Structures are given as C-alpha cells and as structure tokens.
Amino acid sequence: MDIILENVGRRFNQEWIFRKINCHFIQGESYAILGPNGSGKSTLLQILSGSLSVSEGKINYLSNSRPVDIESVFGYLSIATPYLELIEEFTLSELITFHFRFKNILEGWDVQRMVDFLGLVRSKNKEIRYFSSGMKQRVKLLLACCTNSPVLLLDEPTTNLDREGVDWYLHLIEKFSQNRLLVVCSNQPEEYTFCNNHLLIDSYK
C-alpha cells in the first residue's frame, strides 16, 4: 500500500500542529518522521493510520494502484506505539491468540514461535499485568511485525527497552520490514538508522 499526503495539516483548537505536508509514502520504502517531543510526530502517525482526520488537505491510500476507502485501511496496517495498551488480564499466549482473531498472522508463525522469539517461554502463561515495561514493549513490537500487513507503523519503538532490547528491536526490523511500507516516529537515531527517507516535522510549522 502507498499513502499519499496532499497539503495535509492538523490543528487542535486554534493551534496548528503542522501544515502543508506533501509526501508519497511508497510500499517497500522506509521512512523516519523526526522531531522533538511534542512536535506532532505521533499526531502524523495517527493520521497515516486513519485513526485521526486531517484538518486540511487530503490523504489517499492506494493498494496495487487502486484507491482504498478509509474504513478499510485498518486491514492493511499494523501499529505499535507507547500509548496503545495491551489487555493485561490475558496471559501472553491468550493475548497473541486474541490479537490474531482480528489480524492475519504471517505464514509460518504461531503462538509458540512468537513466544520463543520473544524469549519469554517461562512467561507464556503469565498475565500481561505482571510483565515489565520492557517485556510489554517487545510484545507490542512483535504483534505488529508478525501481522501480515503491507504497512508497519512504529512510534518510539525502543521505549522501555534496555541495550539488549534495542539490539533485539534492530534484529526484528531486519527480519520483518522487507517489502513493507515502514514508518518510524523517533528522535533517537538508533531507532531509524535503517530508514532511507526522513521527514522533518518542524519543517511544516
């Protein structure tokens, strides 16, 4: 899927967060949306995901050069962000099973393989509420990456990850980003060193 922004702007009340963004996000390419905290990176990611409307301009979604209705965009993307919560009453295996009742899992993957990849075999039947913040972040990232979708959206992906966790994240991206439209919102260089394209949000104030 390609996502095309035409003179896109968003404001809250009378304050413009950004204006007149023109960008063609192409499937198979990687993009970093860059800027300091509070600059509007997460807002733009929510617009790309279809969960937030634009205040001005237009956004188009194309799959194989054919338009996709905004109501159907959810089925084409997966997302991991610090502000999306996991269902903490579920065990890890229950959470994975539940997630893939609504999303298609990548071929060759199942609950056990995901648990193994997370390195959380001993926590398979533990409720998510007892996970550390770093464990929860790994789960969010792997759920997004193992979803069979052409678009992968990540916001501050190494939040709560230690050095080992950051290395795990970089391995994750190397393994799962091929042939996808990958968008990373960040102000930490190690989170987006692999991105070929950069969009500086402060250029659109």
Mean pLDDT of 45-70: 96
What is the structure's pLDDT at 46? 96
Handedness of CA 104, 110, 115, 119 (dihedral sign): negative
Q: Is 205 helix (H, G, I), strand (E, B) or coil?
A: coil
pLDDT digits (tens, 9 = 90+) for 125-140: 999 999 999 999 999 9
What is the structure's pLDDT at 193? 95
What is the structure's pLDDT at 205? 87
Percent of the chain predicted with pLDDT > 90: 97
pLDDT digits (tens, 9 = 90+) for 8-40: 999 999 899 999 999 999 999 999 999 999 999
Mean pLDDT of 105-129: 97
Q: How far apart are CA 164 and CA 36, in angstroms?
A: 25
The sheet carrying 15-25 orders its strands as 15-25, 2-12, 56-63, 66-67
What is the structure's pLDDT at 19? 97
What is the structure's pLDDT at 131? 98
To the question of pTM greater than 0.75 for the whole model, the response is yes
Lowest mean pLDDT among 36-40, 86-90, 124-128, 149-153: 36-40
What is the structure's pLDDT at 76? 96
pLDDT at 51 over 90: yes
H or E segment to which residue 41 belongs: helix 41-49
Helix, strand, coil share (%) of the chain residues, nearest 5? 35, 30, 35
Mean pLDDT of 39-64: 96
Q: What is the chain's mean pLDDT, rounded?
A: 96
φ/ψ (deg, to 5) at 147: -80, 130
Per-residue pLDDT band at 142 (split at 50, 70, 90): very high
Four-way CATH pick for 2-204: 3.40.50.1000, 3.40.50.300, 1.10.132.50, 3.20.20.70: 3.40.50.300
Per-residue pLDDT band at 146 (split at 50, 70, 90): very high
pLDDT digits (tens, 9 = 90+) for 172-205: 999 999 999 999 999 999 999 999 999 999 999 8
What is the structure's pLDDT at 203? 95
**What residue spans define the domains of the chain?**
2-204
Which tokens hold the place of 117? Answer: 């990849």
φ/ψ (deg, to 5) at 100: -90, 15
